[in-house]
Amino acid sequence: MTSSKTALVLTSISAPNPVLQSLAAGAAKAGWDFLIIGDTKSPDSFELEHCRFFSVEEQQKLPFALAGICPTRHYARKNLGYLLAIQEGARVIVETDDDNFPRDAFFEPRRRELSGHLCRQTGWVNAYRYFTQTRIWPRGYPLNRIRTDTVPARLADLEVAILPAPIQQGLADENPDVDAIFRLVCDLPVTFEHGGNLLLKEGAFCPFNSQNTTWFQEVFPLLYLPAHCSFRMTDIWRGLIAQRILQTAGLAIAFHGPTVWQERNEHDLMRDFADEISGYTGYEEFVATLAGLNLSNGLDAMAENLRTVYGALTAKGFFGKEEPALVEAWCKDLAHVGMLRH
């Protein structure tokens, strides 16, 4: 086991499709582990070379407190894949979805310290605008800010810096991660520029997703996906929480050009819209709540800070009352796999 061991983690209800086959082939060539967490709608039989698939029945047998209480038919089942990867010694976790075709660059070795272009803007930042001249915004960006957004400087015009970035968000071409309103009223496909990294420092918030995302070992506790909220919001809420906790350690998050292109699974856009309403009406309050919390400094306090954050946000109604119990189970499981002291 080397210090660079990487695990690719997905959740899927699909049979092995061309995307999953491409991911498996690329992971095998790169020497990555490849784990897929199934759900109740997954096929009865799942066979894909260079991939390990875990059915709900197999998940229930895992030695994790979360396995028995995380709801089924929810994207948050993916948490079990993270725990498995951590238990098996992963130092880097890469995640994507079963409708994102990987380019060769997707499987290149990940580096924690990146040379990139430093954005000194604080508050809400629309990172997508640094990679295209198209008016576009990431899923999770407040609607009231779209028209008032100033067009940023080009990426190449920002100062260059080298910073540790333990969370790195890659973009997706063709059908990027935008909200239902964008899909209902704006044009796709969109192609982003491929060069350079954008580094967001302390005080900046930009939504990021789980579709092309790299996590380094020091921040694995921040992988937790909340379960008692809508499917469309779980990774967005997770990302904003992770950024707030990263700020206690003065660490950067990076956005980089697309290393996948998406051939999107079929969606009911009006259902997506309904599932995103809690975000459209709540993004500003959510981040204001995070910014106002008195958190402990440093990554050693991640478990404590997760409990504080989820307690406050549950009290505000962003999560169901059962969420703190899942966070507690997550922390217990991280202790079980040697990631945290419980």
CA distance 139 to 181: 9
Q: Which residue has the tokens 């106002």?
A: 292
Cα–Cα separations (whole angstroms), residue 46 to 32, 94, 283, 316: 20, 21, 38, 41
Name residues whose C-beta falls within 8 Å of residue 66's C-beta, 6 or more positions apart in sequence: 79, 80, 83, 326, 329, 330, 333
Give, for all 342 residues of the chain, the pLDDT tens digit: 334 699 999 999 999 999 999 999 999 999 999 999 999 999 989 999 999 999 999 999 999 999 999 999 999 999 999 999 999 999 999 999 999 999 999 999 999 999 999 999 899 999 999 999 889 999 999 999 998 877 777 898 999 999 999 999 999 999 999 999 999 999 999 999 887 999 998 899 999 999 999 999 999 999 999 999 999 999 999 999 999 999 999 998 999 999 999 988 788 999 999 999 999 999 999 999 999 999 999 999 999 999 999 999 999 999 999 999 999 999 999 999 988 754
Tell me how crowded residue 268 is: count the other CB atoms within 10 A of its CB: 10
Interior angle at CA 139, CA 240 and CA 103, nearest 5 = 100
Q: Residue 234 in contact with residue 77, Cβ under 8 Å?
A: no
Decide if domain 6-336 falls under CATH 3.90.550. Answer: yes
Cis peptide bond N-terminal to 43, omega within 30: no
User: Where do the domains of the chain lie?
Assistant: 6-336
